[in-house]
Amino acid sequence: MTKLKDSPESKAKEYLLEKIGREKYEMWFSQLDLSFKKDKLQVLVPNSFMEGMLRRNYLAILEEAGSSVSGSEVGISFVVSREPSQQGSERRLKPANAKKPLKYPKARPVVVEDSPAGTGRYNLDDFIVGRKNKIAHRAARACAGSGSDLYNPLFFFGSYGLGKTHLLKAIVNETTRNNPSLKCKYISAEDFTNQFVNSTLRKDMNSFRKRFRGVDVLAIDDVHFLASKKGTQEEFLNTFNSIDHADKKIILASDSHPTMIEQFTESLVSRFVSGMVVKMEMPEFETRKKIVETKAAKMGLKISQEVIEYVAHNVTVSVRELEGAVKKLSAQQLLLEKKITLGSAQYLISDMVSRARSGPDAEGIIETTASFFNVSSSQLRSKAKAKTVSLARSVAMYLLREHSDMSYPEIGGCFGGKNHSTVIQACRKVQSLIESNATVDWKHRGLKRSEKIGSVLKQVSDSLNLQS
């Protein structure tokens, strides 16, 4: 990967490049100017259209980039450059998949509204409610407006891209809106860990504890990231107890039920299940239709009922991917000024449709792979390094990377909070075995078993109905 200059702004761009990939980075970020201003990351954009696209699609990743560099939460401030109007039509005709990055003229900036640090503009009214997520939404609404212990702690779990983060941030925003005097904080478990480590190194734990234990509402996302991090778990448990004893609120989100996350202490698990635990699932067809309609309307995208139903019927992996499909259609219409027909929709989201039709979700791939190697899925999520477990874990990670749009960190999250470098290493290992047509061996019911890696992958893939 190309290394950028060693400045905070360049480090933020390097973070973006690593997280979203070169194609998206070149299209949206390579020519943008970033600058850190106190507790904000300022983004210079050429026009309001670009600002809107970045707000809708990349606000969270910009916040992550800023926080990663600064070591603490940052808000995002967009700055719009005024442009000669005659340049607008030429830019709109620029193809969405242009090889060269767009170049933007320099102009006097105009500062627009900032986003609250960490939470963006999420609210509960924007969360599309259906049969499968009704309980989660009601619990979030009650938590944001009630002092009842029934929802404390409130723990959401489910696969990636189903709206857990939306609900956490919306609860924080709605609580702040209803009670401006309350101190509310949203943070990912990874950022919590980083701040804990930094404070430990600086020997400044008092300010760290004051920052988190003095809040009225604490929302922690991706809490499975804490798996196997004993020091951070101990500090978080103390933070949890401090907030709970003060009758303050705690909201958590994870990819798995708390009892299913390996390497969590019993004390922590018992705290997590002492309140309300809510599972989040992929919405049914009618709700998916509603999501497509709502997202399209917000983006000013005019599409027929036929196209709406096609997208809702065929994109079934996650709500995030469903919204991504609408964004693809919107980019086609806005940048190329072309009407979206059923044919163009089928072409534009064909990759998403093939992924959706490939069948199982992350849990299905993990369980099927574990079954093939005669180990448990919990062993794959653990830190166990036995040869058979390590091989099975690597195969499952490779299949997830090949047959889903999950990022390396998201895949790591499915395996008890493994970091992205572990996933990259596992995928490279399997790819190397494939290229050398290597034979792998493992223990199966006490007996040694050997097969070509290609045969192993084919058998697991066939069990999952995955296309090789």
Residue ranges for the known binding site for ATP are 161, 163-165
CA distance 45 to 79: 6
How do beta strands 447-452 and 439-444 pair?
antiparallel
Cβ atoms of 242 and 214 within 8 Å: the answer is no
CA angle 35, 41, 42 (to 5 degrees): 60
Q: 137: which strand partners?
A: none
Cβ atoms of 387 and 444 within 8 Å: the answer is no
CA distance 57 to 237: 34
Q: Nearest to residue 16, comparing CAs of 69, 73, 95, 79? A: 69
Cis peptide before 101 (omega within 30 of 0): no
CA distance 277 to 250: 12
Instruction: List alpha helices for 21-130, DSSP H.
Output: 22-28, 48-70, 86-92
End-to-end CA distance of the chain: 28
How do beta strands 75-81 and 40-45 pair?
parallel
Q: Which residues are annotated as a binding site?
A: 161, 163-165
